Chains A and B, each alone.
Chain A
Amino acid sequence: MKSQEEARPFHQKTQHISIQYDGTITFTEGALFKLKKGMSLFEMHPFFEIIPSLIDEHKNTKTSVDHNFACIHLNDDDIERICDVTLTISSYGIEVLIFDYTQKYSELHTVAQQKNESILLARALELRNKYLLEKEEFKNSFIANINHEIRTPLTAILGFVEILEKTKLDFEQEELARIIKRESLHLNALIDDMIDISNIESGKLRVTEERFSIKELLKGFEKTYNKVAENKGLAFTMTYEDSIADYVIGDTTRVYQILNNLLNNAFKFTETGKVTLTASKNYQRGNKTSISFKIEDTGLGIIPENLDAVFDRFSRFNQDKKIAGTGLGLAIVKNLIDLLQGDIKVTSEVDKGSIFSLKLPFGIEIGSKSPERKKKTYTLPKRDKKFRILVVEDEESTQYLVMKLLIKEGDFFVDVAMNGEMAINFVEKRAYDLILMDLQLPTIDGYKITKQIRTKYGDKVIAEVPIIGFTANSKEGERERCLKAGMDDFITKPFEQQDLLYKITKQIAKKAAQ
């Protein structure tokens, strides 16, 4: 069936108008637009205002001239029509013929709309994608930079608080110092979280494999979290199945991080009752095993609608001000578990508690049962003279901190070099037992200085001096870079004083034993 529009007789789709040069209508026939003799056509629609300029062009021509305009949107007060218009200009006046092709043009419009829209949509998606990538890159470099900027003063704060704690303090001062330390450590943990998530998301995190004892790891948690539980008035139990392999091969740091984050989370949201950690063997075949862990709490719980989103970044449903954190913990857990090709599920009941169940795959060594490797203890070799240490560091707060720490120990002399040139100068003049080398220095960086010390001198005292790298940068691969440059060890700022002393003692002891 034909539409009404098409059914209209042809003469109803046209309009014939005659006008004078000034636009006054002298004749009109047709039903498209309401026009009357004596009206100005120019005022009916701005399209017709083109006419004066056309008249100008043809003033001097005797014969009549046609101008055809296709697909013009015309409307009077009531209705819009898409028309073709022919203007015939002659010395008598102007003939205007209007053809209404609204129907035909509307069909064309649908086609053009689809075609253009799909092209624009594709472009918009491309642009959006590009924008997201740029934003991601910016975010990652921003986080890396801000991390460096925050770590340096934080190292100073932590260091000085430790020194402050060893001075004579009254009870209140001691308490305040303890709070400053606790909060600084917390800030430090948050920075770690931020770096982790940006490393994971940008695919920079590598899985490392080493042999370790799951049972020992669990016992460690038992110790730490018993204390936490005690402080909060909660109970904590840890149990594991004996049939779990004694030693597995996997990424101990990441496994620690995953379980630690989940336990932290459980304690954070539990005010009464208990938290339990259980581990069991899922299966063990050939050189593979899968271990299930379950972290159960009697805390706030999660409402069903929110369960799907618990592992999203920054989602935190219990918007309780008392609960500190970035909200990155569970997102990190999920990302790390994906990285290790494990699996995590959560079930929960509001006001009853939550259960996080995860499975992680590990490798096992068949047949070998080597003993556990403990952190060895080292002592400084006996000697009359004190040990001479060179600290290459441009930041005053860190210089001061290291100096105070070492001098207080009583076994060390300390020299400080502010930059690479000074460091080289010192090394050539004096024999050192150890060098602490900041990696980010003005002019020559720590890697270059180390290379120079290792390769330029025939004197073994210089060329073989133990060097410990020293940086605010905790990027993956930093350790390898240090070792490759010829350093013996590496420590990230902010460091615990005990860690630094341990590393210094270890290197000096090892050198002496050679």
Chain B
Amino acid sequence: MTSSKKVVLLGHFGVGKTSLFRRFIDNAFSEDYKVTLGVQIKKKVVELPNGKELSMIIWDTEGHTDIEDTRKSYLLGSHAFIYVFDSTREETYKNINEDLAYLTNIHSKVLIKVIGNKIDLIKEKTAKDQLKALNINVDCFTSAKTNKNVHEFFLDLANELTS
């Protein structure tokens, strides 16, 4: 039987959660911004290097400036949180460490990944330097627009969740 894992996309509004979600699931992208209200859920079955399959159930939540405004019910039963920020907007990442602490506090066993999206808009080096200065660890820089690192990221995550 295919096992399944619940993964939740979190972060400020407009950082590209829905775009990453669409890029991963349908390999599509749009410049249009359509605000997500509440949560939309889709699943995608991925093949793991060991030949087995994993069904990833992805929850694309509505963005909040304050993580505590996210409905707690959306976080229930999760296996991973993906905290997405916009690499071009400091306000979407400057409080990351506090937000991550909040999440681990209520869900200590859930794997957390941090993603800097929209990396097509600025130099990766510039973004990295800025984050380093704020003591923030980033797992991956992506671009939903150019499809940079999106599939790679989700596949690595699938792998990590099953090992």
Contact = CB atoms under 8 A, between A and B. Distances in A.
A68 B73 CA distance: 7
Nearest to A42: B4
A120 B39 contact: no
Of A47, A71, A108, the most chain B CB neighbours within 10 A belong to A71
B6 A53 contact: yes
Contacts of B39: 71-73
Given A53-B76, A68-B73, A72-B39, A113 B57 contact: no
Interface in B3-54: 4, 6, 13-14, 33-35, 37-43
A43 to B, nearest CB: 11
A111 to B, nearest CB: 9
B77 A70 contact: no
B89 to A, nearest CB: 6
A83 to B, nearest CB: 9
A302 to B, nearest CB: 37
Interface of B is mostly: loop
Of A57, A73, A113, the most chain B CB neighbours within 10 A belong to A73
A45 B57 CA distance: 10
A46 B42 contact: yes
A54 B77 contact: yes
Given A68-B73, A116-B13, A116-B14, A73 B38 contact: yes
B88 interface: yes
B14 A119 contact: yes
Contacts of B71: 69-71
Interface residues of A, number: 27
A21 to B, nearest CB: 15
A120 B86 CA distance: 11
A46 B73 contact: no
Interface in A67-118: 67-73, 82, 105, 108-109, 112-113, 116-117
Contact of A82 (B4, B13, B37): B37
Contacts of A324: none
B35 A50 contact: no
A127 interface: yes
Contacts of A127: 88, 121
B38 A72 contact: yes
Contact of B33 (A49, A53, A109, A120): A120
Given A46-B42, A127-B88, A69 B37 contact: no
A123 interface: yes
A82 B40 CA distance: 9
Given A113-B34, A123-B89, A47 B13 contact: no
Contacts of A69: 71, 73-74
Given A50-B77, A73-B41, 6 more contacts: A54-B77, A70-B38, A71-B62, A72-B41, A113-B34, A116-B35
24 contacts: A45-B41, A46-B41, A46-B43, A46-B57, A49-B6, A50-B6, A50-B76, A53-B6, A53-B76, A54-B76, A57-B77, A67-B73, A71-B62, A71-B71, A72-B38, A73-B39, A73-B41, A108-B37, A116-B14, A116-B63, A119-B14, A120-B14, A123-B88, A123-B89
